[in-house]
Chains A and B, each alone.
Chain A
Amino acid sequence: MNKVLGFFRHLFIPTETNNYRAKSLHTDFLAIYLIIAFFMSVVFKKVGLSNVLGFATDISATKLFQLTNQQREKDGLSDLKYNDKLACAAYQKAQDMFNKNYWAHFAPDGKTPWDFILNCGYNYEYAGENLAKNFLFSDGVVGAWMNSPSHRDNILKSNYTDVGFAVVNGVLNGEQTTLVVQMFGKPLTSPIAQQPKSSPPALVFNQEVKAAEQTPQSANLPVPINKTTNQQLVTANSAPKNAFSLPAITFDVNFIFFSFLLLALVLDFYFAARFHIVRISGKNLAHFIFIFFIIAGLLIIARGAII
């Protein structure tokens, strides 16, 4: 027991044995941390190149589907049904953004979100789309949508009955990007409504509710999904259950490391002040401020962007 205590004292408290500086903050230990961090970045990069599903983020369509319905239940709304045609439309939209290198609801060539929905054979009365990119976790995506009034309206719209998701990794503007596309819809049911010319379908696109500018064409058969090497599709039906979550691990490793470093800095700072130790070393307060801002930045980075 004394040996363990002595070890921790040597590791965290400035004493004569560690030259009055916590051993965990000595340059040799700091060099070891750097080597471990470098090794991790190289190893994870290699794992990422082998296309492990969901490496870039820990987002799954299953989780997004659950969280979306949870939000609707909280508002007393009926659950949305998962629709493969909307998932197909979401995937095609994501793939289109990668192929044409844009990040918007409307493609540069004028293609609209509802074009993808119709192409996948979903004749809608109402339709809507939410987009997100570069989030780390599913909770963050739905949380950000719920914090944005227009996206929140889409999730909590009683007109919708179906939903489909696509979580696709690819290269956008030269960087590895994870796109999340959420497509909402309500199918045409009444015979009158099935005549598009007399009753143009409504499109709900974030906050704006407007009729489709073009008359929907007859529905095509779902377009087969072509998977490319740098893009991966995860649908609610095919999302791996209990998959090995590398992003969650890296995120946790970061937090554990930062906590360890902060603990070492605080203890060393406290005991150095208490014992009135004068020494040549870096300023713990500066390290502490730097790590504080880095942790705050990490929390912002995890949030990604939505439109």
Chain B
Amino acid sequence: MEHLIVHLKKELKRHFFDYSLLITAGIFFLVAINAFRGERFLEFTILLAFASFYIIWGVYHHLIDNSLHLRNVLEYILIGFTILFLLKIIIIP
């Protein structure tokens, strides 16, 4: 567990701005989805925007980290779109 905490701290310290950006976007996502609760199309649009931001964030983060690779980009796209499709079933059945 110690390794994990040390690694987490190191990672957050190294990329403080990047993770702050992602968390801020996440908070905006929750606020927006709460504000438009019950409006299915808007809920899905907000979800789509957050998933797109997450993919762009991934590309940006790896670009400035000098670790951009097609496999990384694919990973963000696959996770983002899988979650998008799963939630679409609930939001727009």
Contact = CB atoms under 8 A, between A and B. Distances in A.
Interface in B1-60: 1, 3-4, 6-8, 11-12, 19, 22-23, 26-27, 29-30, 33-34, 37-41, 43, 47, 50, 54, 57-58
A281 B72 contact: yes
B79 A287 contact: yes
Contact of B83 (A45, A274, A291): A291
A292 B89 CA distance: 19
A55 B78 contact: no
Contacts of A175: 39-41, 92
A27 interface: yes
Q: How large is the interface on A (under 10, 10 to 19, 20 to 34, 35 or more residues)?
A: 35 or more
Given A269-B4, A281-B72, A286 B23 contact: no
Interface in B51-93: 54, 57-58, 61-62, 67, 69, 71-72, 74-76, 78-83, 85-93
Contacts of B47: 294, 297
Contacts of A294: 47, 50, 83, 87
Contact of A297 (B33, B62, B76): B33
A175 B41 CA distance: 7
A137 to B, nearest CB: 11
Interface string A22-41: 00010100110110011011
A49 to B, nearest CB: 10
A261 B6 CA distance: 23
A282 B19 contact: no
A304 B37 contact: yes
Q: Is the interface of A mostly helix, strand, loop or mixed?
A: helix
Given A34-B78, A273-B6, A297-B30, A289 B22 contact: yes
A289 B90 contact: no
A293 B82 CA distance: 15
Interface of A: 25, 27, 30-31, 33-34, 37-38, 40-41, 44-45, 48, 55-56, 133-134, 136, 174-177, 247, 250-251, 253-254, 257-258, 261, 269-270, 272-274, 280-283, 285-287, 289-294, 296-298, 300-305
Given A34-B78, A44-B89, A177-B40, 14 more contacts: A257-B82, A280-B67, A281-B71, A285-B11, A285-B19, A289-B22, A289-B23, A290-B26, A290-B54, A294-B83, A294-B87, A297-B33, A300-B33, A304-B37
